[in-house]
Amino acid sequence: MTISTGSPSNVINIMTRKLAAKNAIAPSQSDKGSRTRVISISSGKGGVGKTNIVANLGISLSRLGKKVMIFDADLGLGNLDILLGLTPKYNFSHVILGEKTLSEIIVEGPCNIKILPASSGIQEMANLSKEQTASFLNDLYDVIDPIDILLIDTAAGISSHVMYFNAMAHEVLVVVSPEPTSITDAYALMKILSIRYDVKQFKLLVNMVSDIQEAHEVYRQLKLVSERFLDINMEYIGHVTYDKNIRRGVRQQKAVCDLYPDTQASKCFSSLAVKLCQSQVSTSKNTRLFWKELIGNKQDLTKQ
Ligand SMILES: Nc1ncnc2c1ncn2[C@@H]1O[C@H](COP(=O)(O)OP(=O)(O)O)[C@@H](O)[C@H]1O
Ligand SMILES: [Mg+2]
């Protein structure tokens, strides 16, 4: 958050920066979207809170002044729009059928968040061909150009699409709950991403905990095994407490951060957003090149 004191030197600094931004060279076509920080949210196991986390984190980041877009990448069973009480006329299936462009399906959510809605109940959406994937990605870099942070809400499971969206992101945020099944699924997800897709850095978010101690304990256990048996690095990024107001929000189709800004979970989301903004990240990984290589040189992995 920028706090301006209004002192003469501050005003000059702000004016200089504005002028510099105005005179900056416009990004070339191949640079498009290259400044956007891409964060995927994944878990292996379903029902651990990914979609709620993406929605509330998006709102919290937007409140910090970031331009946020959320891509509902649960392509066949998307429900982010339902969660936020939105009724998009078009969704990702219309893009794949060639009826709409990606920019035409974008809807605006709370706090000016841009949302790319997924289809629900269309099984084919979970099995895109490599041509469809390639064309979608080309469009994606155009629409994320003015965006600071793209959050990708991935599907449950370890399908190749889930892996792709994680592999293309600059950061992979793994969500776990304290349940052993969630912990083992998160381990399996990181194992495949590290061995097959060379993803070595993970950020761990522990959801549905009673307090920070419980979250740290889950982190300690998972870090111990994963760093011993996998060649990865896992960083603790935060926790969200179990909060019945999240469920109340879901029933009212409103994000808890909007409905109950002072409840414990909302405070956790705000802290998480601040921590993410403070954490250093390299956006040098050229996600466009990554995809080109994957789609152009390899067999059709989308149909594994
Ligand atoms: N911190 C939390 N406290 C209480 N309930 C939660 C919390 N996080 C998620 N939930 C609930 O868990 C369920 C699954 O959440 P969801 O975001 O749909 O998970 P996923 O996207 O991983 O499948 C929802 O009913 C939601 O209300
Ligand atoms: Mg979900």
Which residue minimizes the CA distance to atom 17 of ligand 1? 49
Summarize the confidence of residues 8-35 as an average pLDDT. Answer: 45
- Confidence tier at 213 by pLDDT (50, 70, 90): very high
Tokens of 38: 């891409």
Give the CATH architecture of domain 36-279: 3-Layer(aba) Sandwich (3.40)
- The larger pLDDT score, comparing residue 242 to residue 169, is at 242
pLDDT of residue 105: 95
User: What value does the mean pLDDT of the chain take?
Assistant: 84
Which of 54, 152, 247 for mutating ligand 1's site (highest number of atoms within 8 Å of CB)? Answer: 247
- Confidence tier at 35 by pLDDT (50, 70, 90): confident
Q: Please count the helices (runs of H) and the strands (runs of E) in the chain.
A: 13, 8
Give dist(CA 276, CA 61) in Å, integer. Answer: 9
Which residue minimizes the CA distance to atom 25 of ligand 1? 247
- Confidence tier at 14 by pLDDT (50, 70, 90): very low
Residue 2, pLDDT > 80, answer: no
In sequence order, the 6+-apart residues with CB closer than 8 A to the CB of 264 are 241, 243
Summarize the confidence of residues 124-141 as an average pLDDT. Answer: 72
Give dist(CA 269, CA 250) in Å, integer. Answer: 16
pLDDT of residue 282: 66
| Per-residue buried b or exposed e for 52-68, using 16+ beta carbons within 10 Å of the residue's own CB | bbbbbbbbbbbbbebbb
pLDDT of residue 296: 53
- Name which of 53, 20, 32, 23 is nearest 175 in CA terms: 53
- Confidence tier at 119 by pLDDT (50, 70, 90): confident
Q: Which residue has the tokens 């416009």?
A: 26
Phi, psi dihedrals of residue 201, rounded to the nearest 5°: -115, 130
Please report which residue ranges of the chain form alpha helices under DSSP H. 8-23, 50-63, 80-83, 92-96, 102-105, 130-143, 160-168, 180-197, 212-229, 244-251, 256-259, 264-278, 287-297
Which residue minimizes the CA distance to atom 27 of ligand 1? 247
- The larger pLDDT score, comparing residue 101 to residue 298, is at 101
Give dist(CA 298, CA 294) in Å, integer. Answer: 6
Which residue minimizes the CA distance to atom 12 of ligand 1? 49
Q: What is the pLDDT of residues 58-69, one digit of tens each?
A: 999 999 999 999
pTM: predicted TM-score of the whole model, two decimal places: 0.85
Summarize the confidence of residues 113-132 as an average pLDDT. Answer: 77
Give dist(CA 166, CA 174) in Å, integer. Answer: 10
pLDDT of residue 121: 67
- The larger pLDDT score, comparing residue 159 to residue 183, is at 183
Which of 53, 173, 250 for mutating ligand 1's site (highest number of atoms within 8 Å of CB)? Answer: 250
Q: 86-100, 177-191, 205-219, 234-248 — which is least confidently predicted? A: 86-100
